[in-house]
Structure 1
């Protein structure tokens, strides 16, 4: 398993590392969609929130606006080039950037109020285990937002493929996956111009590993 995980990490780093420099210019109009998704999370001033797989940090500014100066914003990504692009864009002024794997976060159990993940779920090598790790670092009753600036059908068309029945973002698949991982899905929106699944950290969930 460790070897497979290392291979997955290398594949993700190579894919995003090669695209980091021009990532924002490829998707220049996504900013309002990010801000709108963050706005639906119900964040409050003073909250502590993580952008998991933050890439070039496009969610960091709206997250900072949502939690205010008294809040804490963290952005973690596995790809150094993506974090470098975030710093070059000045987005490290909105949150602290961490080179870290969402499969094993350097954060205390229950230390966060919320997690935001844009385009995250399709890149998780072990979705149930990885979502359980996100649940570990979020307090009971905290929130999770899984977002993409286009919906499943539009993304499939963009990538020249068909939607398959095993798509993890399909609500019949996503709901039980989240439930097994310590979350309760509260809403799922899949439209041409966005995908947004919101979930709450279940209070009866067990932690994935001791800290």
Structure 2
């Protein structure tokens, strides 16, 4: 395992138990982002880097009982917190690295990823792996419950032009990884970039 992976695991493992308490009001933002994905009953969707599974109830509601919901995360403590919160009832939880998913190619209709991009060790390669598991025409949602400026302020840092999630950086990054960006919103109350898997 790389130093990057170890750092990410340590960061989230230390915060897993208290994660939901730190951000208790994010539920409606997750639900709105999932609604914008246009999922249909019966769809198969992955929550990549699912953490404590906050998106899983909204994803399950969108795809219904016949749909498939999978949550994958690198940090066991986050998945344990998801189970304690009962979110394993809404989706199958996988201890897995989104850089090497144990899923068949083109086996999914969509991927939801909250707060993931900033933690990817090799963003272009990792986004290509997400593209691998999604069928052509499928959807990717890159989400954060607050926008880039609000997040930077919360973390006590300044936004820089190099920020991966800035539209001029993210659009070509996605394009080079098999995705075409279809919409981009960076507001105080949320960040949401939607993309479609190229055929």
TM-score range, shorter chain: over 0.9
| Structure 1 residue runs without a partner (length 5+) | 204-211
Does 2:122 correspond to 1:126? yes
Residue equivalent to 2:6: 10
Whole-Å Cα distance in 2 between the matches of residues 6 and 75 of structure 1?
22
Number of aligned residues: 199
The alpha-carbon deviation at position 114 of structure 1 amounts to 0.1
Does 2:181 correspond to 1:185? yes
Q: Select 2:160's aligned residue among 151, 154, 164.
A: 164
Does 2:178 correspond to 1:145? no
**Structure 1 residues 1-211: aligned runs within 5 Å:** 6-203=2-199
Whole-Å Cα distance in 1 between the matches of residues 48 and 33 of structure 2?
14
The alpha-carbon deviation at position 6 of structure 1 amounts to 1.3
SS in 2 for 1:19: helix
| Structure 2 residue runs without a partner (length 5+) | none
The alpha-carbon deviation at position 170 of structure 1 amounts to 0.5
Whole-Å Cα distance in 1 between the matches of residues 52 and 15 of structure 2?
11
**TM superposition score normalised by structure 2:** 0.99
Whole-Å Cα distance in 2 between the matches of residues 79 and 8 of structure 1?
13
**TM superposition score normalised by structure 1:** 0.94
